[in-house]
Structure 1
Amino acid sequence: MNALSKKEIVLISLMLFSMFFGAGNLIFPPFLGQSAGDQVGLSLAGFILSAVGLPILGVAAIAKAGSFYELAKRVHPAFASLFPLLIYVSIGPGLAIPRAGSLAYEMGMLPFLPQTAATQPVGLALYTLVFFGLVFWFSLSPSKLVDRFGKLMTPALLILLSLIFVKSLFGPKGGLVQAEGAYAAHPVMQGFLDGYLTMDALAALVFGIVVSNTLRSKGVTEPGRLSGYMMAAGTGAGILLAVIYLMLGAIGSTHAFLGKAENGAQLLTNVMGHLFGSSGILLLGVIFTVACLCVSIGLVTSCSQYFSGLFPRISYRGWVGLLCIVSMLIANMGLTLILKISVPILGAIYPVAIVLILFALAEPLLSPRSHLYVTAVGLVVVYGLLDLVNTMLLPRSMDFLLASLPLYSEGAGWVVPAFVGSILGFGVDLLRKRAY
């Protein structure tokens, strides 16, 4: 039973931060800052609550439950087999890893290509070949992730982001504009909903195995100590995420005078061009490339460890190679198509993960054998499937039904099914207690 030094805990926290912090985490906060305007403080508070709080709770939930499988098994053994598999495929080779590779190309390479070359698919193909070659190489030695992320990639990323923030403090900037739309009506709620679009709560369930295996490789095997170190690493990573989000949100809110941007990537491009000139676009490309590379390595490592345990006939190295190849092929579909497919799918999965995390943290008030897991998660799954079918297969023809749910228009229509399912499960628990 080994005790870790403060330095080792910090390095593991940096590793976890770098795996969480991808391109999406760069894009959302500054765009929120621009849109929220004079309500940026309240909006960022909501954003940090979901984009930082939920991932920390996710790591804590895995630490308490012991593993993702043990947590999901509380719903049903079949659910414990299917839901983790769905998450690993979705935020792994199916959607998130290819998205990172494609976005790294669009932000880190495409702006510097001649116009004739930029329209040719061969550019994306060659770039993703090199990108996923690097991901493959880094992912072959998961025990070295702490040194590579903690001592190299994460500090480089933090230095680059700090440089941008300091430059923005002393450069020309404008006042805060008036908040728009939902940011004016309910800024905290809108910020909260924006925050969970980062999908880091799902990543927390996946990255838990990486943190756990890293700690075990350092001799930490006692369950209580393992759980404590996992929560410490999650908290450390969360603090870093919160600081970066505040910096990016402030940059977005004070540079609205540059003109309305359609998305966070465009906004950051405008800001970097304003602050640093043409060299700023290069700096932004480096930041996006490092962030996408870090999150891709973390996801490939996590997914390979999971799949090699589920299908042991293929070794860990074999899964790393297979996932990199599949991700590279899907990345060549292009960022626009990947995003179009990923949003509704992840929107259906995410609420289920939130309910699982909250229930896991409700112990000892809520027994792992409580029927709340079945009823609440079951209703949220049904809602998610209906919403997914309504979005992807039907031309939103079920809006008349789903829109009757409170918070549906804000993207949180799953809350009512979760609440109703919790009441039903609590009632079943009471009846069973009385029966005995």
Structure 2
Amino acid sequence: MTFAFFLGAGNIIFPPQAGQLAGDHLLSGMLGFLSTGVTLPLVAIIAVAVAGGWQGMTRDLPSKVATFLAVMIFIVIGPAFAAPRAGLVAYEMGVKPFIDNAGQLSLTLFSIVFFAIAMFLSRSRGNLVDMVGKFLTPILFLALIVLAVAVVMDPQDAIAAAKGDYVDMPFLKGFVEGYNTLDAVAALLFGMVIVDAVRGKGVTDEGATRKYLIYAGLIAAAGLTFVYVSLFYLGATSVNIAANATNGGDILAIYVAALFGPAGQMILSLIVLLACLTTVVGLISACADYFSTLTRWTYEQWAVALSVACCVVANVGLNQLITLSLPALFALYPIAMALVILTFIRRWLPNPTLSYRVVLLVALSFSMIDAAKVAGFNVHAFEIIPLFDYGMAWLMPTAIALVITCIMGAKTAKSVEQKSQTA
């Protein structure tokens, strides 16, 4: 179930394009992508397990700040972007190729049916493991295995030279491209759903719950690695056959058609529809579960409301939605990464409250620079910041803030200890 939740729209459409651009720097670019697309989500899942949930991860922040941060993440990861994007990708790649003269009406009708199914599956949260984990995921993974084997056995092109930023800094470019999967942010939310699913199976011991949560994360990470490696290689060997493709979805569609002929579109449609549906179910479940704790609305009511909202937003169109959402991704990802790191090193922080508040504030401040740059604003005044050109202006200031707060915290603790001994 966890693997299926993570494997959604971004996981399918972005790796092929990244692989095509990485070319002969495939390995470095892929390792960078795997860092934010696999390693970080796994670490985030483990952090949720270690901290005992969102409240444990944010206990050193003011409660209102922690709630606001969670609400913003849930909105972006849910009805504002990730869930509608998954529905749009399902339509563009899974249904639209079979419709003549597809237009707004066909998109609207598909959105209604797609999110109605997602709503039905989400409302039955007690059976999520059975419905998604036992039935949908095996079908999805089998289709992906068929595609991966075909790509390795019959690559359609030779690997060409790297392009763009992949020429000089392939790892960092791949690292930033991994933001598009949204998985590191989603992991903070899916962790809650997985915990509920484990408890729904009768596991009440906290230690056992953490253990199963980590196991689920490891299985999901292994599955995602398999998918990304095969899709990166697919992209790297598509330079000529998909030379005119405008995005990763086009690359994948052209490649699959070359491998399997007319049956290829059916295989691709099955993969995309299942991947996007399971992800939307996970996102709606996570959002509904959290929002029901903040309001008088029940989980079921929130599942319905969120499904309707996703259906409405999905009708904006895929390209417009991706353009509008990129700044939010660049703003949120650094905060998620900083929070995960702080969760793991909390026990060694001299003053956790100081470190959490300062480090997250610095991460947010500098991530907004990266977000403004992606949005098209003129931020050339900040070019002196290391890694600014690669969309990671937040990294060095955040690391420096962590070091400074540790030093300040240690001095404060030492001063308090000396005063107590004197007294």
How would you bin the TM-score normalised by the shorter chain? over 0.9
- Name the amino acid aligned to 2:89: L
Partner of 1:11 in structure 2? none
- 1:407 equivalenced with 2:390 (yes/no): no
Query: Deviating runs (4+, > 4 A) in structure 1?
Result: 389-392
Identical columns (%)? 33
Query: 2:389 is paired with a residue of what secondary structure?
Result: coil
Partner of 2:14 in structure 1? 28
- 1:306 equivalenced with 2:293 (yes/no): no
- 1:431 equivalenced with 2:411 (yes/no): yes
Query: 2:87 is paired with a residue of what secondary structure?
Result: helix
Please state how far the C-alpha of 1:401 moved relative to its aligned partner.
2.0
- Structure 2-normalised TM-score? 0.94
Partner of 1:248 in structure 2? 231
Please state how far the C-alpha of 1:335 moved relative to its aligned partner.
1.3
Change in 2 beyond 3 A, CA 1:389/1:242: closer
Please state how far the C-alpha of 1:396 moved relative to its aligned partner.
1.6
Matched residue pairs, number?
Answer: 415
Change in 2 beyond 3 A, CA 1:368/1:159: farther
Partner of 1:396 in structure 2? 377
Q: How does 1:210-249 map to 2 (within 5 A)?
A: 210-249=193-232
- The whole-number CA distance in structure 2 between the counterparts of 1:137 and 1:95 is 20
Partner of 1:175 in structure 2? 158
List alignment gaps of at least 5 residues for structure 1: 1-14
Pick from 44, 48, 65 the counterpart of residue 62 of structure 1. Answer: 48
1:143-181 deviation line (CA, Å, top 9, x unaligned): 211111121111111111111222233435332111123
1:404-428 deviation line (CA, Å, top 9, x unaligned): 2111111111102202211231132
Change in 2 beyond 3 A, CA 1:428/1:139: same
Please state how far the C-alpha of 1:208 moved relative to its aligned partner.
0.7
Q: How does 1:25-424 map to 2 (within 5 A)?
A: 25-115=11-101, 118-119=102-103, 121-171=104-154, 173-260=156-243, 261-311=245-295, 313-366=296-349, 369-389=352-372, 392=375, 396-397=377-378, 399-424=379-404
- The whole-number CA distance in structure 1 between the counterparts of 2:350 and 2:278 is 37
- The whole-number CA distance in structure 1 between the counterparts of 2:397 and 2:201 is 43
For the 8 Å contact 1:129–1:328, the answer to whether it is kept is: yes
Which 10-residue stretch deviates more, 292-301 or 168-177?
168-177
For the 8 Å contact 2:383–2:389, the answer to whether it is kept is: yes
Query: 2:137 is paired with a residue of what secondary structure?
Result: helix
For the 8 Å contact 1:374–1:425, the answer to whether it is kept is: no
Please state how far the C-alpha of 1:367 moved relative to its aligned partner.
5.9
For the 8 Å contact 2:179–2:330, the answer to whether it is kept is: no
- The whole-number CA distance in structure 1 between the counterparts of 2:83 and 2:155 is 37
- The whole-number CA distance in structure 2 between the counterparts of 1:172 and 1:201 is 31
- Name the amino acid aligned to 1:287: I
Partner of 2:420 in structure 1? none
For the 8 Å contact 2:81–2:325, the answer to whether it is kept is: yes
Partner of 1:12 in structure 2? none
Which 10-residue stretch deviates more, 347-356 or 33-42?
33-42
- Name the amino acid aligned to 2:148: F
- The whole-number CA distance in structure 1 between the counterparts of 2:157 and 2:316 is 39
For the 8 Å contact 1:370–1:425, the answer to whether it is kept is: no
Change in 2 beyond 3 A, CA 1:386/1:78: farther
- The whole-number CA distance in structure 1 between the counterparts of 2:154 and 2:400 is 52
